[in-house]
Structure 1
Amino acid sequence: MASSAGLALCGQTLVVRGGSRFLAISTASSDDDCVFTYDCSAAEKSTPEEKGENGQPVDKGSDTILASTFSKSGSYFALTDDSKRLILFRTKPWQCLSVRTVVRRCTALTFTASEDRVLVADKSGDVYSFSVLEPDGRGRLELGHLSMLLDVAMSPDDQFVLTADRDEKIRVSWAAAPHSIEAFCLGHTEFVSRIFVVPSHPELLLSSSGDGTLRLWEYRSGCQLQCCDLASLQEPAEHQGHKGLAASRIAFWGQESYVVLLCECVPVVFIFQLDASRQQLVFRQQLTFPHRVWDVVFEDTRGLWVLQDCRDAPLMLWRPVGDQWQVRAVPEDAVSQRLGSHLHENWAMLEGAVGADEGFRSLYKATFDNMTSYLKKKEERLQQQLKKKRQRSPLPGSPEQTKKACPGQSDLSC
């Protein structure tokens, strides 16, 4: 299946990925030629051929990048791909430090705040940690769920590992002893697609789900502070029901405490503002786009970068003007032009994401209306019983009916 394109940003380094490749570009206006490219198809393979228990070759998958992230300082960058590899980079200057094998395909990854480890969550429900300081060290199993993990996060003090799974659970585990669970954040009714610990308020957690809600938690106690129904916010209501309103990205801008939510199947971006004193999210605006939006990230000094399915304008920069977010005009922003030019030249790496199937569609629960089927069969059974009863009963006026009406008497006396 084709994979959507993605963004990652730290400081003034922006990474754009698509297919098996990524480009690292500086957003500083002075760095016109500062571009680093990497192609996972050229990375080393683990073994010539691996065989499963049945003796057949193991499916090695493609080299498509599945997830990527920067460390807190931006000194490191890591990605996982469909060939079950974890690839670690140093960014200053860019250098590939190691290519390590993971047990299963990974869905999300994050660095610890101390930047000494990278944690990867996989489809089987496990979280493994890999050393950054020992780039070739093997992974260590930290914790496991009974269902697929969709996201993983660390608390800013590295005390807690937060994991989100397909079975609606958010689990808060102690990092030093992951078998020890501090709390569960329960309330979602579909898979939890994304979780995000608010950097400026490290006690707060944001989560999004296939149930079409954005929720705010005090995660150490598992207390839900707010639940926002996204379907009720659409202008106009372009999407019936909640399906398709699971966030593929939650982004946060510390300057004004803006929270941006990108949902996978609709060309809109929801903008909220966090009122920390009231511990509430306030809905501010919905941005609507003519093209499919692949990803969004905030740059501290500039605003919201939007990566969209448009070769002529793949990157757009939005900033708040008064109470409304507006796109910056292209002639005004030479940096946007330069970045867009780089992506235009490398559009081939993004073409695989054009029209890609939505990754969350298969995660929704299959619903079965057993009661309707049961009542229908019951009615059919009653009708059949009634029909048989009528067939056995004598007709009015018949000798059998007369005998039944005058029991013990002759036909003449009746």
Structure 2
Amino acid sequence: MASSAGLALCAQTLVVRGGSRFLAFSTTSSDDGCVFTFDCSTAEKKVSPEEKGEDGQPTDRGSDTVLASTFSKSGRYFALTDDSKRLILFRTKPWQCLSVRTVVRRCTALTFTAAEDRVLVADKSGDVYSFSVLEPDGCGRLELGHLSMLLDVAVSPDDQFVLTADRDEKIRVSWAAAPHSIEAFCLGHTEFVSRILVVPSHPELLLSSSGDGTLRLWEYRSGSQLQRCDLASLQEPREQPGHKGLAASRIAFWGQESYVAILCECVPVVFVFQLDGSRQRLVFRQRLTFPHRVWDVGFEETRGLWVLQDCRDAPLELWRPVGGEWQAASDTAASQRLCSHLRESWAMLEGSVGVDDGFRSLYKATFDNMTSYLKRKEERLQQQQKRRQRSPLPGSPGQTKKACLGQSALSC
């Protein structure tokens, strides 16, 4: 199972993942070298009873590709899930692998609680499991379930609510203490909900993106939609119209000036908005266009926006706002140092080159049965008309003459 490369950032630590590996760096120019390297293919593999075949041997468990990763709020912990159905937990100061645990199904997203005592993991079947951080070898506990594939999970900054986004257009707001108790639904998207983000500086607000090509702002406890932004309308006229392909693969937030960066998988563009918290409105600021495919983006609070792209010469770029306009600042010592390390480890990222977009298969399949029905009906009508034209109608001259000859024969 292929997966695009990804970024994770917290404080001055940057993680780049690709394939089964990830590299952790310090972004401070005073620190040289890679802080930590990990390869999931070398991690412990545990096989649960349900994963064994009839002969008792392990069944195919997939690859070791990293599917999702994230830091805890303080950056003290880091967690990832991979295609071999493992949740791997790390301490970051210093870096140390704390545990390797088995999850029931392949995961799509994960997040830490604000208290950093649990990791919440969402999977393809629609379930959310929680795993203890303080007891790193503890088993997972089922918290809640959907009837549809989950694509993202988030928690409110006070840990009161768990927010989940699914393939069936729903955003569900559940009480963390009693997940079966639903506070609200945020409804309005017309395709799968790809990403959600609770705004750190305005914890009552939620950002969401969808396969319908929109970015939406919500007051999530009431389920009220505050704003709808059509990303397709922000495209250049020469670019392919329509909303498909404009599902965000990343929503990133920068607390310094309340900037929001939206990355969509199918276009080498990052949309930059600014949140006006007092008016609860998003203001579009800029389109950042790139000559290469962009794999991921993330904000570093003290620097700006890091962009990971499919370019061996410059795999990482740093963008900063200058006079209100975002500009590339790739000549910094930090970006040059990080790019140098990534070029040396380019084999880790090569598996992400040419990977198909992950959301393509999630769009609703539409079947236009009416068009084919009307076409067949028209063909039948045309055939009937042709048969009528070949067969004389009653009362026509040929039919009248034939009838008269029959009457003459009877009179004889």
Q: 1:393, 1:174 → 2: CA distance?
A: 78
Aligned residue in 2 for 1:344: 343
| Mapping of residues 72-221 of structure 1, within 5 Å | 72-221=73-222
Q: 2:317, 2:71 → 1: CA distance?
A: 21
Displacement, 1:51? 2.3
Unaligned runs of 5+ in 2: none
Q: Is the 8 A contact 1:169 1:192 kept in 2?
A: yes
Q: 1:221, 1:48 → 2: CA distance?
A: 41
Q: How has the CA–CA distance of structure 1 residues 397 and 377 changed in structure 2, closer, same or farther, with 3 Å as cutoff?
A: closer
Q: How has the CA–CA distance of structure 1 residues 52 and 183 changed in structure 2, closer, same or farther, with 3 Å as cutoff?
A: farther
CA displacement 1:335-370 (0-9 Å, x = unmatched): 111111111111110111111111111111111112
CA displacement 1:154-202 (0-9 Å, x = unmatched): 0111111111111111111111111111111111111111000000001
Q: After the TM superposition, which of the residue ranges 91-100 and 306-315 deviates more from structure 2?
A: 306-315
Question: What is the TM-score normalised by the length of structure 1?
Answer: 0.94
Paired residue total: 408
Q: 1:130, 1:401 → 2: CA distance?
A: 92
Displacement, 1:382? 2.4
3-state SS in 2 of match to 1:400: helix
Aligned residue in 1 for 2:223: 222
Aligned residue in 2 for 1:39: 39
Q: Is the 8 A contact 2:330 2:336 kept in 1?
A: no
Q: Is the 8 A contact 2:98 2:136 kept in 1?
A: yes
Q: How has the CA–CA distance of structure 1 residues 150 and 52 changed in structure 2, closer, same or farther, with 3 Å as cutoff?
A: farther
Aligned residue in 1 for 2:6: 6
Q: 2:55, 2:131 → 1: CA distance?
A: 30
Unaligned runs of 5+ in 1: none
Displacement, 1:74? 0.5
3-state SS in 2 of match to 1:377: helix
Q: Is the 8 A contact 2:19 2:65 kept in 1?
A: yes
Q: How has the CA–CA distance of structure 1 residues 403 and 309 changed in structure 2, closer, same or farther, with 3 Å as cutoff?
A: same
CA displacement 1:62-100 (0-9 Å, x = unmatched): 000000000001000000000000000000000000000
Aligned residue in 1 for 2:353: 354
Q: 1:266, 1:42 → 2: CA distance?
A: 35
Q: Is the 8 A contact 2:34 2:341 kept in 1?
A: no
Q: Is the 8 A contact 2:392 2:399 kept in 1?
A: no
Q: 1:401, 1:113 → 2: CA distance?
A: 95
Q: Is the 8 A contact 2:269 2:288 kept in 1?
A: yes
Aligned residue in 1 for 2:382: 383
Q: 2:165, 2:396 → 1: CA distance?
A: 75
Aligned residue in 2 for 1:26: 26
Q: Is the 8 A contact 1:394 1:401 kept in 2?
A: no
Q: 1:393, 1:56 → 2: CA distance?
A: 77
Q: Is the 8 A contact 1:196 1:207 kept in 2?
A: yes
Question: What is the TM-score normalised by the length of structure 2?
Answer: 0.94
Q: 1:208, 1:58 → 2: CA distance?
A: 36
Q: How has the CA–CA distance of structure 1 residues 348 and 34 changed in structure 2, closer, same or farther, with 3 Å as cutoff?
A: closer
Instruction: Indicate the percent of aligned positions where both proteins have the same amino acid.
Output: 84
Q: Which amino acid aligns with 2:295?
A: W
3-state SS in 1 of match to 2:284: strand
Q: How has the CA–CA distance of structure 1 residues 234 and 54 changed in structure 2, closer, same or farther, with 3 Å as cutoff?
A: farther
Q: How has the CA–CA distance of structure 1 residues 224 and 237 changed in structure 2, closer, same or farther, with 3 Å as cutoff?
A: farther
3-state SS in 1 of match to 2:23: strand
Q: 1:239, 1:338 → 2: CA distance?
A: 37
3-state SS in 1 of match to 2:256: coil
Q: 2:328, 2:44 → 1: CA distance?
A: 41
Q: 1:202, 1:85 → 2: CA distance?
A: 31
Q: Is the 8 A contact 2:317 2:330 kept in 1?
A: no
Displacement, 1:54? 9.7
Q: 1:316, 1:62 → 2: CA distance?
A: 30
Q: 1:9, 1:86 → 2: CA distance?
A: 19
Q: Which amino acid aligns with 2:210?
A: S
Q: 2:53, 2:77 → 1: CA distance?
A: 34
Q: After the TM superposition, which of the residue ranges 375-384 and 211-220 deviates more from structure 2?
A: 375-384
CA displacement 1:208-243 (0-9 Å, x = unmatched): 111111111111111111111111101344122111
3-state SS in 2 of match to 1:119: strand
3-state SS in 1 of match to 2:384: helix
Q: Is the 8 A contact 1:214 1:227 kept in 2?
A: yes
Q: 1:320, 1:109 → 2: CA distance?
A: 30
Q: 1:13, 1:109 → 2: CA distance?
A: 19
Tell me if 1:297 matches 2:298.
yes
3-state SS in 1 of match to 2:327: strand
Q: 1:48, 1:139 → 2: CA distance?
A: 13
Cα RMSD (Å) of the superposition? 2.2
